Chains A and B, each alone.
Chain A
Amino acid sequence: MYDNPLTKRDAVTKEVKISARGCQVYYGDTHAIKDVDVDIEDKTVTAFIGPSGCGKSTFLRCLNRMNDTIDVCRVEGDIRLDGEDIYDPKVDPVQLRAKVGMVFQKPNPFPKSIYDNVAYGPKIHGMSRNKAELDEIVERALRRGAIWDEVKDRLDAPGTGLSGGQQQRLCIARAVATEPEVLLMDEPCSALDPIATAQVEELIDELREQYSVVIVTHSMQQAARVSQKTAFFHLGNLVEYGETGQIFTNPQDPRTESYITGRIG
């Protein structure tokens, strides 16, 4: 599937989708993200790697303001989506999250039917005028989530009754159903077996055609397989950010090198 992932990359720089400047995140007194600058490109898979607790999830959650739901969390600095400050007081985080979808580490389908899981987002955003249109949206999303063939005969079955890998793909389908522009994925494969992981990775590669995908992963092989850009976090700092091929073959920072060779982490 990914015979030689490090060589087939196109090095063309694409449009910047999200740019962060001087981003700081505090949980109460804990300084979790320290002065991060990063430009995330459109139609690109960007991987965040780094040891546990270095702030990958925290930074990812800044990008769609999921951190707003944590009382003690404070975000400073400038994060822009298409040049617009997402922390501007005029911005409604709900509108932002419709544009920047998220898939979580643990598959978390709603305890509703498969159909309702996918249809929920389009419904609340008024994306369809009638049942037929909604059906179409659901089918397209499930197809894009690479799970359509497995569930097309049991759309009324509960989403929570699927296997872990299916649930995660259902969650991905749910996230793409609202037609987001950016898809954030926080360790989407950590609860999956190798086969389900391969399916999800293939899916991520396809999603790149339309979205900017940011994926947090613990697995360096995974980062190497699916991403074009890689950011290495360490103790809340963004240590190194660049082409995935370059990060893995020729890291500039000694900390990056130690991590990818397995000496820290």
Chain B
Amino acid sequence: MTDATDPSAQPAAAPQRRSSLLQLDERTRRRNAAEARFRLMGLIAVTIGILAVIGLISSILFNGASSFRQTFITLDVYLDPAKLDKAGTRDPEAISKVTTFGYAPLLQKGLVDTMAAQGIALDGLTAKQAAELISKEAPAQLRRYVMADVSRIGQTVTFDVLAAGRIDGYFKGRVTMESAALDRNVSPEQLMLADRLKEAGMLRTKFNLDFFTAPDASDTRPEAAGLGVAILGSAYMMLVVLVLALPLGVAASIYLEEFAPKNRFTDLIEVNISNLAAVPSIVFGILGLAVFINFAGLPQSAPIVGGLVLTLMTLPTIIIATRASLKAVPPSIRDAALGVGASKMQSVFHHVLPLAMPGILTGTIIGLAQALGETAPLLLIGMVAFVREYPSGPPDGFFEPAAALPVQVYNWTQRGDPAFVERASGAIIVLLVFLVIMNAIAIILRRRFERRW
């Protein structure tokens, strides 16, 4: 193929040996072409990857960003003592007996009165139809407001109430006049009324803090659904995972890597740990259901059970990462420590572990991030339940029902009202932000520990 292997070409090749550096020979040209092809392929791969990420993120942002804003209607509500406190004692006990049904008429009256004061006509709508612009959650909002301070009864207060989901959707472009004509829940006339309210400044779209703090809401009131319980539940679970998986994982890795004898038994353990990392997560859910709930009798939907299941899932990740970073510490450091008379344990804790720390932290945070986004096992242990009550503070809260972020996303995507698609995308954004924060923490911690001179 080449001149060198062909003896007959030898004499002819001899003068060619003094080739010019400015002229590329055939071999170099081919090598350069191969290199260019490879670089191009790499570039294409990277571009596809980046485009996929951009597409994904922009679609989520496009769908979900609007969940951070919410439409409110501002009303002057007269907190009628005749309705709320018939006895006139201002006794919170007695007032708490008035259910949200007692508050709904106050809101309806407030809306009609405020509209009249602003000179906005009902235009053929009944007062009841106009009141449908207000969320079904609003009476509960108002009731909480009154219960917080019963002396407000008898006053006329200016109150921001949630607009109904369809009205909110109208201002976010989800609901149109055409779709409203076909919709049992909203009519074009109601939308036109909403337009007039907006013109008069009674209706505004503003930042929606409740999305982060409020609990989930039922199918009929997507406008009130929030992530409060899910964020709290996820935080509790991460706490359980961190507190259990980090020490267990690091201790197990140190033992296996530094102290355990190398024999069949430890080989078996090693293989098992590697395999455990590859077990589908739903299997851990079944295990959790069988062991923690059915056998140990822990409550369903509780963060402690979710945390335990996720700990089992995270342990192999942490162990594998920790062992890899322990292995990466040069043996000469161990020799040096032993050589000056340090014990095995001193050499590990004083010298090996600090050097392995960046790797351990990265592994742990990657494990935690995986656990944070894990859905399947949580479905099996009942975390998919509809939970409106906040779990209490630790430690009791660990045993009370809670939701979890990824499960909340799943949950919302299963609901009929299209407003929940927006909520689910919003929840995904929140989840992603948490993941980004965790990764940032991993990087910062690594930088801080990585003073390995």
Residues of chain A touching chain B, judged by Cβ–Cβ distance below 8 Å, are 64, 66, 69, 71, 94-95, 97-98, 101-104, 106, 108-112, 120-121, 124-125, 158-161, 171, 174-175, 177-178
Contacts and interface: CB of A to CB of B under 8 A. Distances in A.
A121 B346 CA distance: 11
B306 to A, nearest CB: 40
Contacts of A101: 339-341
Contacts of A106: 332
Contacts of B334: 69
Contact of B346 (A124, A171, A175): A124
Contacts of B346: 124
Interface residues of chain B: helix, strand, loop or mixed (majority): helix
A124 B341 contact: yes
A111 B332 CA distance: 11
8 contacts: A66-B338, A98-B340, A101-B340, A110-B336, A121-B342, A124-B340, A124-B341, A178-B340
B341 A125 contact: yes
A162 to B, nearest CB: 11
Given A104-B336, A108-B336, A111-B453, A95 B341 contact: yes
A73 to B, nearest CB: 13
B223 to A, nearest CB: 57
Scoring A97, A98, A101 by chain B CB atoms within 10 A of each residue's CB, the highest score goes to A97
Interface in B289-329: none
A262 B350 CA distance: 45
Contacts of B351: 110
A94 B262 contact: no
B91 to A, nearest CB: 69
Contact of B340 (A111, A158, A175): A175
B332 A104 contact: yes
Of B261, B333, B335, B351, most A-chain CB atoms within 10 Å: B335
Interface string B46-65: 00000000000000000000
Interface of B: 261-262, 330, 332-343, 346, 350-351, 355, 452-453
B335 A66 contact: yes
Contact of B333 (A108, A174, A175): A108
Among B262, B332, B339: residue with most chain A CB under 10 A = B339
Given A104-B339, A121-B342, 19 more contacts: A69-B335, A97-B340, A97-B341, A98-B340, A101-B340, A101-B341, A108-B330, A108-B335, A109-B336, A110-B336, A111-B452, A111-B453, A120-B337, A120-B342, A120-B350, A159-B453, A160-B453, A171-B336, A174-B336
B117 to A, nearest CB: 75
Contacts of A158: 453
A177 B342 CA distance: 13
A108 B351 CA distance: 12
Contacts of A174: 336, 340
Contacts of B333: 108, 110-111
B446 to A, nearest CB: 16
B264 to A, nearest CB: 13
A213 to B, nearest CB: 15
A102 B338 CA distance: 9
Contact of B342 (A66, A108, A124, A159): A124
A120 B341 CA distance: 10
- Which of B333, B338, B346 has the most chain A CB within a 10 Å cutoff? B338
A102 B339 contact: yes
Nearest to A121: B340
Contacts of A178: 340-341
Given A108-B333, A110-B351, A94 B340 contact: no
A184 B334 CA distance: 17
Contact of A121 (B261, B341, B453): B341
A149 to B, nearest CB: 22
Contacts of B340: 97-98, 101, 120-121, 124, 174-175, 177-178
A59 to B, nearest CB: 16
A124 B341 CA distance: 8
Contact of B338 (A69, A109, A125): A69
A112 B451 CA distance: 9
Contact of A71 (B262, B335, B342): B262
B253 to A, nearest CB: 18
B349 to A, nearest CB: 11
A161 B334 CA distance: 19
Contacts of B342: 94, 120-121, 124
B453 A97 contact: no
Contact of B355 (A111, A121, A159): A111
Contacts of B337: 110, 120
B363 to A, nearest CB: 21
A106 B261 CA distance: 27
A49 to B, nearest CB: 22
Contacts of B338: 66, 69, 97
Contacts of A171: 336
Contacts of B350: 120, 124
A121 B347 CA distance: 11
B355 to A, nearest CB: 7
A159 B336 CA distance: 13
Nearest first, the 4 A-B pairs at minimum CB distance are A98-B341, A158-B453, A121-B340, A108-B332
Contacts of B332: 104, 106, 108
A160 B261 CA distance: 32
Nearest to A106: B332
Nearest to A107: B332
Contact of B339 (A97, A111, A159): A97
B213 to A, nearest CB: 46
Nearest to B342: A124
A98 B334 CA distance: 15
B74 to A, nearest CB: 64
Contacts of B452: 111
Nearest to B345: A94
B311 to A, nearest CB: 32
B343 to A, nearest CB: 5
A161 to B, nearest CB: 7
Contacts of A94: 341-343
Nearest to A118: B340
A178 B333 CA distance: 17
A188 to B, nearest CB: 12
Contacts of B343: 94
B336 A161 contact: no
A110 B401 CA distance: 50
